[in-house]
Chain A
Amino acid sequence: MKNNNQEAIIDIKNLQISFDNQEVLKNVSLQLFNGENLVVLGKSGSGKSVLIKCIVRLLDSDSGTIDVFGENVNTLNGSKLNDLRKKIGFLFQSGALYDSMTVKENLEFPLHRIRKNLKQQEIDSKILEALENVGLADALNKMPSQLSGGMRKRISLARTIVVDPLIMLYDEPTTGLDPVTSDEISALINDVQKKYKTSSIIITHDIECARATADRIVMLQDGEIYMEGDLAAFENSKDPLIKAFFK
């Protein structure tokens, strides 16, 4: 599928998923085009996080298809799914840093598994480069428990970009952070897109983050797509629900 001469690298069609007979996503269809930042907005419990967890198959959908780089995620087996996951970076809401490992070991972990042919010297230089990109080169030997919430998010972002992913999935990247740190994380998301030429889906309910990062916005409401468009369309919308978000 093409849009303005851009190729859809993620193409979701009629995605449905339910937990305990409660429908969380109902016939959701959307595309992520090459090089864009797609922000998925919505209230808590609207199914945003479930959507991106289905993309990397952390959750299995009930029906519908998810094509990533032309491959249907739902039909991939173990090794092929792992190969696809190597192309996708996932920033978790909680950061998900491994508590028992230092910052360096946290960044080494995916490198050892995804870039198996790298020598230790190359691994060290990639780790340093990723940490410099998030402004935390001096945190190399710290434990996650010694880091603040904002630092944990940055290190988690460094762990994600260190393997050079083609797609970035951000799950609530600014939740729980102060406004200054949130702005810094939003700026980092844009920096990552420019430097690593990634395409991103950013799940958020933080309007400032959406304003700073979005090329296109999709709004989810009760598991369905409520509105889709660019930032201006949302800012100018007369819809009460959209206005409540963008006031």
Chain B
Amino acid sequence: MKIVLPVTKAKDLVRGNSLIISEKAIAQTHIINHFLTDIANVCLFFARFIKQSFTPNTEFREFFKQCFQIGYKSLPLISVTGTIMGLVLTIQSRPVLANFGAESLLPGMVAVSLIREMGPVITGLICAGKIASSMGAELGSMKVTEQIEAMEVSSTNPMKFLVVTRVWAAILMIPLLILYADGLGILGSWAGANLKGDVTFSLFFTQAFSHIDFYDLMPAVIKSFFFGAVIGLVGCYKGYNAGRGTESVGIAANSAVVISSLLVLIVDVIAVQITDMIG
């Protein structure tokens, strides 16, 4: 099927006095239009977040409540994940290192891999699943049940109360969760090393930390702040801009997880490249 629109220009595409546009071309235009609108909305949302972050009357009570929700309530999940991460990495690496007679390097290797890469990325992905989905679903359901509008007519800026507090709480709490997961990962690694051997706690930790320096820790800490920002912003954006029906709450939560997980990986790739360039 073709749609014929009357035009006066674009001579190449004109037959007679009409412009011939295929349905596929129109569909592609709609997709591009939708994509560009989405990007513009994200930029606008980010600009509003920045603006509201630096206006007076900060909602400290809600901010601390969100720090508790994001930080403290994630501790059980992050504890299990961190410990298993270190344990599995040790169990799987040990035979390979033993083949080269380099078993003594195990604590250092595990500590460097955990702190530089595995700890931040895996904890970031776990947080994307738990925190971004929870933000998307909570704000989405608030939108559907008119709670955000109720806030607006109560002379409260919902962007400041709901979004700014959540995003800053994520920016602050996720790096702390990552450091906590790193610590437990090394503890799990020590437990793993003791499954088929006998290493004292102090010897293992001395060996582990002797291989870590400032340039291992800082890039990981810096990128974890960006993970927090990405997770908080995507979760809030998707929830805040959810549609009207209850179905949109599920869509908001789901897309928040997918997009924030993807962005965590993209931020990680960029951070690795920058760290590599700096040397």
Q: Which residues of A contact B (CB under 8 A)?
A: 53, 56, 58, 82-83, 85-86, 88, 90, 92-100, 109-110, 113-114, 163
A-B complex: 3 closest residue pairs judged by Cβ atoms: A96-B150, A110-B154, A82-B155
Q: Can you list 15 A-B contacts with CB-CB less than 8 angstroms, sorted by A residue number?
A: A58-B149, A58-B153, A85-B153, A85-B155, A90-B153, A92-B149, A92-B150, A96-B145, A96-B146, A96-B147, A98-B147, A99-B145, A110-B154, A110-B156, A114-B154
In the complex, the number of residue pairs spanning A and B with C-beta atoms less than 8 Å apart equals 48
Query: In the complex, A83 Cα to B154 Cα: how many Å?
Result: 10
Taking CB atoms, residues of chain B closer than 8 Å to A88 are: 153
A43 to chain B, nearest CB (A): 19
Contact check, B149 vs A113: say whether CB atoms are below 8 A apart.
no
* Residues of chain B lying within 8 A (CB to CB) of residue A97: 147
Q: How many chain B residues touch the partner (CB < 8 A)?
A: 13
**Minimal beta-carbon separation of A154 from chain B (angstroms):** 15
Do B154 and A109 have beta carbons less than 8 Å apart?
Answer: yes
A99 contacts B147, C-beta separation under 8 Å: yes
- Give the complex CA separation of A96 and B144 in angstroms: 9
Residue B224 is within 8 A (CB to CB) of chain A in the complex? no
Instruction: Flag if B146 contacts A94 (CB, 8 Å).
Output: yes
Nearest CB of A to B223, in Å: 31
Contact A113 B141 (CB under 8 A): no
Q: How far is the CA of A110 from the CA of B156 in the complex (A)?
A: 8
Q: Nearest chain-B residue to A101 (Cβ)?
A: B147
- Other A-B contacts than A56-B152, A99-B142, 5 sampled, CB-CB below 8 A, are A56-B153, A58-B152, A92-B146, A99-B145, A163-B154
CA distance A53 to B145 in the complex (A): 15
What does DSSP make chain A's interface, helix, strand, loop or mixed?
loop
On chain A, the residues within 8 Å of B156 by CB distance are 109-110, 113
Let me know if A86 and B155 touch, CB within 8 A: yes
Chain A residues with Cβ below 8 Å from B150 are: 90, 92, 96, 98
Contacts of B154 in A (CB 8 A): 85, 109-110, 113-114, 163
In whole angstroms, how far apart are the Cα atoms of A99 and B142 in the complex? 8
Task: Tell whether, in the assembled complex, residue A99 and residue B141 are in contact, meaning their CB atoms are under 8 Å apart.
Answer: yes
A167 CB to closest chain B CB (Å) equals 11
- Kindly provide the distance from the CB of B148 to the nearest chain A CB, expressed in whole angstroms: 9
Residue of B with least CB distance to A114 = B155
Q: Which residues of A contact B149 (CB under 8 A)?
A: 53, 58, 92, 96
Contacts of A110 in B (CB 8 A): 154-156
Q: Which residues does chain B contribute within 8 Å of A86, judged by CB atoms? A: 155
Cα distance A110–B147 in the bound complex, in angstroms: 13
Structural contact, A113 and B155, CB atoms closer than 8 A: yes
What mask results when residues 151 to 163 of chain B are scored 1 for a CB within 8 Å of chain A, else 0?
A: 0111110000000
Complex Cα–Cα for A90 and B147 (A): 12
Quote the shortest CB–CB distance from B67 to chain A (angstroms). 15
A34–B147 CA distance with the chains assembled, in angstroms: 29
Min distance, Cβ A62 to any Cβ of chain B, angstroms: 20
Q: How long is the Cα–Cα vector from A57 to B138 in the complex, in angstroms? A: 24
State A108–B251 Cα separation when bound (angstroms): 32
Question: Hey, which chain B residues are within 8 Å of A93, CB to CB?
Answer: 146
**What separation, in Å, do the CA atoms of A109 and B154 have in the docked complex?**
8
Cα distance, A99 to B156, chains bound together (Å):
17
CA distance in complex: A82, B152 (Å) = 9
Residues of A within 8 A of B152 (CB): 56, 58, 85
Name B225-242 residues within 8 Å CB distance of A: none
Q: Name the distance in Å between B36's Cβ and chain A's nearest Cβ.
A: 18
Residues of B within 8 A of A113 (CB): 154-156
Within 8 A of A (CB), among B94-121: none
Instruction: Tell me the complex Cα distance, A85–B150, Å.
Output: 11
Taking CB atoms, residues of chain A closer than 8 Å to B141 are 99
Shortest beta-carbon distance from A71 to chain B in Å: 15
Complex Cα distance A56/B155, Å?
11
A205 to B125, CA, bound (A): 49
B149, B152, B155, most chain A CB atoms within 10 A = B155
Complex: A56 Cα to B156 Cα, angstroms:
13
Q: Is the CB of A94 within 8 A of B145?
A: yes
CA distance A114 to B152 in the complex (A): 12
Q: Give every chain B residue within 8 A of A53 (Cβ-Cβ).
A: 149
CA distance A92 to B153 in the complex (A): 11
Question: In the complex, which residues of chain B have a beta carbon less than 8 angstroms from the beta carbon of A90?
Answer: 150, 153
Query: Nearest chain-A residue to B153 (Cβ)?
Result: A90
**A55 → chain B, closest Cβ, in Å?**
10
Q: With a CB–CB cut-off of 8 A, which chain B residues contact A56? A: 152-153
B154 to chain A, nearest CB (A): 4
Question: How distant is A127 from chain B, measured CB to nearest CB, in Å?
Answer: 15
Q: How far is the CB of A145 from chain B (nearest CB, A)?
A: 12
Residue of A nearest to B149 (CB): A58
In the bound complex, residues from chain A placing their C-beta under 8 Å from that of B142 are 98-99
Question: How far does the Cβ of B244 sit from chain A's closest Cβ, in whole Å?
Answer: 11
Task: State in angstroms the CA–CA spacing of A59 and B147 once bound together.
Answer: 15
